[in-house]
Structure 1
Amino acid sequence: MAVTLDFFFDDASDRTIRDLWQRLADIGARPVPGSTHPAPHVRFAAAAEIAPRVRQDLRAELRALSLPSFWLTTLGTFATSAPVLMLGAVVDAELLAVHSTVHDVLAGRVKQPSAYYLPGSWVPHCPLAEGVEREALAAGFAELHPVRAIHARVVGVGVVDGRTGHTEDLVRLG
């Protein structure tokens, strides 16, 4: 996908996740690359394009919401053609409400939305490593297990350009 809508974390949570990325790099698992993922995050949407007017509407809607915190508690994987090692977020009504609101703004207004992030399909998570070979995936899981729960406060929301890595801030809380 060309652009994503990502929720970013407070400094302490960011450092904790970057430490996990480094542990994975130290054992040869490919952590999430910094060039395409500027910071630890939970992705709410992905599409080929989110037009400027839609970004303005997202900005206004997000500013009116109480942004959720995430409890990242579950070390898991997506066994796809490019396997992902991730920290799964605890799903609660507040998180689903914010996700639903985001998609109400985006509905019918973005080019080629990714079905993975639509309500009913979305698995909220923070990626730790992507495109990991099976052996490295197992080694990464063993390295990080058991994972300590991370209470990640959201301090920003941005649209990330997957080609350049540039992030346009929609909301910045501090």
Structure 2
Amino acid sequence: MYGLIAAFDQTTESFIKNVWKELKEKSISSYAYEVEDRIPHITLASYNQLNRRDFFDQMDETYRYQSVIDVNFKSIGSFLKSGALYYSPTVTKGLYELHSNHHKDFERFQDDPNSLYLPDHWIPHCTIANRLSQEKLQEAFHYCSKRHSALFGKIVKVALIEVTEKHTAPIIYSKKLIE
């Protein structure tokens, strides 16, 4: 399985990694440490199978002139009956266009009509914790909602990751966005 992710600037990435670390230290969630190579991100698309070379070529074409996108997180949320907690970015014109343009340009690669990342199904988010009991979800929500007021950063790269059965998710190709 593959995911196309939007990755953050170093400051934003470090902030989220610190939250992950604190949640682990407080025995609330070890989500971030369950998959080797996990980095904070917003998933833009998912694929079951890919012709990698064609996909890489399309990434080169699509993201050649893509500018860095400001992102801000002013709320946290949870998917119903999931035990997941996430930072919810404000859906700006830039974030919306990044997602919708990706799906237009990569339509030929779409192989999952039930993907949660398709236009009209996508809920942009950066996962903080997952598979939590109701008690731990409440604890994580309380901790994260009191930790800071807002997080402002940038999406500086798009990357294709491969999620493996060995609990790894390495970046196999990426494109830096233009500053």
TM-score (norm 2): 0.87
Task: Output the aligned Cα RMSD.
Answer: 1.9
Asked if 1:56 corresponds to 2:57, the answer is: yes
SS at the partner of 2:143? helix
Corresponding residue number in structure 1 for 2:175: 171
Asked if 1:68 corresponds to 2:69, the answer is: yes
SS at the partner of 2:116? helix
1:44 CA drift (Å)? 0.3
SS at the partner of 2:63? helix
What does residue range 1-174 of structure 1 map to in structure 2 within 5 Å?
Answer: 2-34=1-33, 35=35, 38-52=38-52, 53-80=54-81, 82-112=82-112, 114-146=114-146, 147-163=148-164, 164-173=168-177
Relative distance call for 1:16 and 1:76 in structure 2 (3 A) is same
1:152 CA drift (Å)? 1.9
The whole-number CA distance in structure 2 between the counterparts of 1:113 and 1:44 is: 15
The whole-number CA distance in structure 1 between the counterparts of 2:51 and 2:95 is: 24
- In the comparison of the two structures, how many residue pairs are matched? 172
1:107 CA drift (Å)? 1.4
Following TM superposition, where does structure 1 have runs of at least 4 consecutive aligned residues deviating by more than 3 angstroms? Answer: none
- Equivalent pair of 1:6/1:43 in contact (CA under 8 Å): yes
The whole-number CA distance in structure 2 between the counterparts of 1:111 and 1:139 is: 37
Unaligned 5+ segments in structure 2 are none
- Equivalent pair of 1:46/1:114 in contact (CA under 8 Å): no
1:100 CA drift (Å)? 0.7
The whole-number CA distance in structure 1 between the counterparts of 2:49 and 2:42 is: 19
The whole-number CA distance in structure 2 between the counterparts of 1:51 and 1:110 is: 11
Relative distance call for 1:63 and 1:148 in structure 2 (3 A) is farther
